[in-house]
Amino acid sequence: MATSSPAATVAPAISATLAPRRSSKLLIGIVIAVGLIAAGGAAAYVFLPRFMGAASTETAKAPMPEKPIFLTLEPLTVNLQSEGRGRFLQIGMALRVRDEQTKAQLVEFMPEVRSRLLLLLSNRAPESVVAPEDKAKLAEEIRKALSTPLAPDTPELGISSVSFNTFVVQ
């Protein structure tokens, strides 16, 4: 006879209720572990660049370039060498200099600077200053001519470039 005892029916019911508890505890543990890992990853993403990046960005940043120093010259008008009718060049320029001392020296010797420019520019044919390449070549010649010392005991001037702001050939 197969009569079931109350103990026999209780045992499967207890084992059935214990199994979901174990799997739910395991599931809760896994969810908490994944949450902690995600929180740790998010914290590392947010805070680690601030600590690591502070040192690396200071070394990676290039020093700020110094503010350029320019000396703008009054426009010059020069007769050009031409056959027949008279031609002239009206030119205005700015010199980019190395430091304030060079700028002060150029201002002090301005009559000689203008004289050097007039002599250099008056020997030109009108056709030799029209093309952009010719203007770039002329700017370099002016830079070299003005960089030579203005007085016997002075060093070479630090003129890094010549920029034209007026350039008219007629």
**Could you give the CA distance from residue 32 to residue 29 in angstroms, rounded to a whole number?**
5
Going by their DSSP bridges, the two strands 76-80 and 69-72 should be labelled as unpaired
Q: Which of 107, 118, 121, 120 is nearest to 150 (CA)?
A: 107
pLDDT of 150 reads: 84
**Could you give the CA distance from residue 142 to residue 17 in angstroms, rounded to a whole number?**
98
Is the pLDDT at 7 greater than 80? The verdict is no
Amino acid present at 34: V
- Cβ atoms 76, 139 nearer than 8 A: no
pLDDT tens for 114-159 read 999 999 998 788 888 889 999 999 999 999 999 998 888 888 888 9
Q: What would the two tokens of residue 96 be?
A: 């980019």
pLDDT of 74 reads: 94
Residue showing tokens 């110094």: 66
User: Distances from the Cα of 2 to the Cαs of 5, 6, 44, 97, in angstroms?
Assistant: 9, 13, 65, 113
If one counts every other C-beta atom within 10 angstroms of the C-beta of residue 48, the result is 10
pLDDT tens for 72-99 read 999 999 998 877 778 899 999 999 999 9
